[in-house]
Amino acid sequence: SISIYPNPTSNVLNFKGLNSDFTVSIYDILGKEILQADLNVDQVLDVSHMASGVYILTLNDQKKTFKFVKE
């Protein structure tokens, strides 16, 4: 299964369980898209520029959704 860590995070999100490149989208709690990025399977996602709060992350190709906290 796919997971993201650490959660909560202050700087970066790591992805575990992916076996191909993917597109990630991050939405705030109101559903506004904050970020979209195409990542390689071994990349980390820098979220250090984002404001503290709760966010929803989707992996578009995987149809997976995660909630994470940015500290």
Q: Which domain holds residue 38?
A: 3-70
pTM for the structure as a whole: 0.90
- What pLDDT is stored for residue 62 in this prediction? 63
Q: List average pLDDT for each run of 10 residues in the chain, which is 71 residues long.
A: 95 93 95 95 94 95 89 98
d(CA 16, CA 34): 22
What tens digit of pLDDT does each residue of 22-38 get? Answer: 999 999 999 999 999 99
Q: Are 71 and 39 within 8 A, CB to CB? A: no
Q: What is the CATH number of the domain that holds 48?
A: 2.60.40.3080
How many structural domains does the chain have? 1
